Amino acid sequence: MSGVAELDPWKLTSYLPREATPVEVGLLPLNSETFTGLLGLGWIMLYTLGYVQRQNLASRNTPVLKSLLVAGIFSLGFTMATQWVGHATYDYLRPNGEQTEPAQAQKSPPSKQHTRAHRGNVFLFMALVAVLIVGGGYAFTAMHDLNLFLHMLGFTFGVGLTAEFGKLIAASLLLSPTLALTKSRRSLLPFILTGLGFGIGEALFYFRDYAGTETAWLAYWLRGTWSVLLHISWCTISGYVILKYNDHVPEPAALINVFQEVFWGMVIAMLPAAILHGVHDALLAHDEVGYAVLFGLLSMGLGWEAARRFKKLPRPKPEPVTA
């Protein structure tokens, strides 16, 4: 496979892009590489929706495609927001004149002076705890001189925990009474659709990002297949843990109030998937492709087992009615 030699493992991670490419919204280029990625996305989408039907996870009146669209749109917005904050934080933390790709001979761009307004915006975002985790985590994942352990921490908390928390919000949105998409609050369906929607939305974002760089077609294909399957697996794992130790998925409002006990329970429930996500991405970033594949296969195996075991979970006993 000649494409393997051209593949940069950094391309398969949910990270701050190494190249100085813009993150503004633009049109998706229709070239052969993008077409390859879209074929992969279509195949994974059909396979996942077929699995949902075969396992009878969705009732006949469940708007599966509408739910998938909601999750995909949320994923695009979430990815763009975190990438924008990550870029702003990284630009502030990176010393002037540091090259973004030291391994390749490039002309270093002229160092730009940070305006007072720019610094003020960065400090404003970094004042918020959530944005600090997102921006700081993404920024540290892009600092290439860190060792593997520090990158594992950076990817786990800056990428893994952030992405899995975003998926939880999306899953709770699918269960929102206002949207009336999936009514069963004790089902893995919202998590499977959220993982698929997140994978599709993120892939479309990165396809556009890849267009400004010399990225092999294999990266597009793996982003549209391997990465999407991982997102589904990680989200399914989180859903299994949440539903195993809770009666149902919490309402969206419960996720906003950080003082409610259920919030911290959700964070703990997301840790296994976040760690798998972070370690996988960090291994890829350090060219440990073999170990990254093992962690990916482990994630998919755990996700498959979670979906299989979920059918055996006992239903919560109804509350006794007191007169």
* pLDDT at residue 264, as a whole number: 66
What is the reported pLDDT for 213?
75
Residue 181 falls inside a structural domain: yes
Asked if residue 107 belongs to a domain, the reply is: no
Q: Are the C-beta atoms of residues 161 and 167 closer than 8 Å to each other?
A: no
Q: Is residue 23 part of a domain?
A: no
Which amino acid is residue 197, in one-letter code? G
What is the torsion angle, in degrees rounded to the nearest 10, for the CA atoms of residue 198, residue 202, residue 205 and residue 210? Answer: -160
pLDDT for 144 equals 65
- Whether residue 28 is contained in a domain is answered as no
In angstroms, what is the C-alpha Rg of the chain? 20
With 0-12 / 13-18 / 19 or more C-beta atoms within 10 angstroms meaning exposed / middle / buried, residue 174 is buried
Sign of CA dihedral 297, 299, 304, 308: positive
Q: Which residues of the chain have pLDDT under 70?
A: 1-7, 14-27, 89-145, 185, 247-264, 312-323
Q: Is residue 197 part of a domain?
A: yes
Full residue range of the structural domain in which residue 219 is found = 42-101+115-308
Task: Note the pLDDT tens digit of each residue in 89-110.
Answer: 666 666 554 444 433 333 344 4
Residue 274 lies in a domain: yes
Instruction: Please name the residue that has the structure tokens 């990254």.
Output: 292
Residue pointed to by tokens 């010399």? 214
Complete DSSP assignment for 288-303: -HHHHHHHHHHHHHHH
What 3-state class would DSSP assign to 322? coil
Supply the pTM of this predicted model: 0.78
Q: Give dist(CA 85, CA 125) in Å, integer.
A: 8
pLDDT at residue 208, as a whole number: 83
Provide the pLDDT for residue 52.
87
The answer to whether residue 313 sits within a structural domain is: no
Q: What's the gap between Cα 11 and its chain centre?
A: 14
Is residue 193 situated within a structural domain?
A: yes
For the chain, how many structural domains are there in total?
A: 1
**CB contact at 8 A, 123 and 115:** no
pLDDT score recorded for residue 113? 45
